[in-house]
Amino acid sequence: MSNQFSGVGNLGQAPVLRTVQVDGEDRSVADLRVYFDRSVPQDDGSFEDEGGFWLSVSVWGARAESAVKVLRKGARIQVDGQLREESWEDAEGAEHRELRLTASRIGIDPVCIESITYRPRTGAPTEMPSDPGEE
């Protein structure tokens, strides 16, 4: 049985970036809260909202750092990744469980993007091949 998940939803808040120690190394992780709606197509071509659910999402490494720079509350995104259950005890000793998605890919709905800043490429530029018809 696979634990792969793919869904489209909206960010409930801006991503939060943290640094954690993993095997003695500092790693970046961004925490997201995403609401995945469940719209069901109707016979007349419209869609009816049948509720949805909130899911906590973790994004690691360079993707985490980019997510914090680009994503804003309300952004419509597609998230692919693996589901896992986390459990912990709070300060009062009560046990908690949460389903969390570790994202392997995040796609942004272009309508939600206000601006994009491109970073310069590193390394030597590549030349475009010349057109054989120009000789």
More confident position, 68 or 2: 68
Number of H helices, E strands in the chain: 1, 6
Contact by Cβ (8 Å): 48, 40: yes
Give me 1's structure tokens: 């049985």
Torsion of CA 68, 71, 76, 78, to 10 degrees: -40
Domains detected in the chain: 4-111 (2.40.50.140)
pLDDT of residue 7 exceeding 60: yes
User: Does residue 69 have a pLDDT over 70?
Assistant: yes
Contact by Cβ (8 Å): 83, 104:
no
Report how far residue 32's alpha carbon sits from residue 36's, in angstroms, rounded to the nearest whole number: 12
Burial 25-43 (b: 16+ CB within 10 A, else e): eeebbbbbbbeeeeeeeee
Q: At residue 13, does pLDDT exceed 50?
A: yes
What are the tens digits of pLDDT across the range 26-65? 999 999 999 998 877 888 888 787 888 999 999 999 999 9
Q: pTM of the prediction? A: 0.71
Instruction: Give the pLDDT of residue 109.
Output: 78
Band the pLDDT of 135: cuts 50, 70, 90.
Answer: very low
Please say if the pLDDT value at position 88 is more than 90. Answer: no
Indicate if the pLDDT at residue 95 is higher than 90: yes
Pick 117 or 69 by higher pLDDT: 69
**Helix boundaries (H) for the chain:** 61-70
